[in-house]
Amino acid sequence: MALVTLKGNHIETVGALPEEGMKAPGFSLTATDLSMKELKDFPDKVKVLNIFPSLDTGVCAASVRRFNSDVSKLENTVVLCISADLPFAHSRFCEVEGLKNVVSLSSFRSPEFGRDYGVTLITGPLEGLLTRAVVILDSSDLVVYSELVPEITQEPDYDAALTVAREFE
């Protein structure tokens, strides 16, 4: 279990993020076309897992926009935007925003993702959603960076994450 806050109030997660140096847990998440995407569907790429509660919040939307913009400059990196939002919401958001450089994935059919990555909120008003975190996997799916954002209403440390992504590019 890890602790984060929401507007200063403590909230617990189901576990802890995968540690740097370990092989990332596999996953199967729902894409915007309702197909299932697995970790193995992104071979030989650096993967930035942008994990967040919901696209319907300003901070979550900002993180998707920022990673869309910044990662578009990297050739061998893919951003996987992961939340419990329905695939339709992911699709609508990216279409309205004109975002083409991220892959939107929903955990709504895959509660094991939140458990395996330690990001499901188990207390507080957002219970059942995913907390805000960034996990970066190298091209062989080893965890090379992880950030559990301590306050859900804060944005992740983009500069630190992008520095690592560039390093493994």
Q: Which amino acids are annotated catalytic?
A: 60
Task: Look at residue 7 and give its three-state secondary structure.
Answer: coil
Contact present, 113 and 30 (Cβ < 8 Å): no
Coil, strand or helix: which one is 52?
Answer: coil
Q: Which H helix or E strand runs over 77?
A: strand 77-83
| Per-residue CA distances from 161 to 54, 60, 86, 164, 168 (Å) | 20, 16, 26, 5, 11
How many CA atoms lie less than 13 Å away from 29 in the CB half-sphere? 29
- Alpha-helical (H) ranges within 98-157 are 111-116
Residue whose entry in the numeric block shows the structure tokens 């090379």: 144
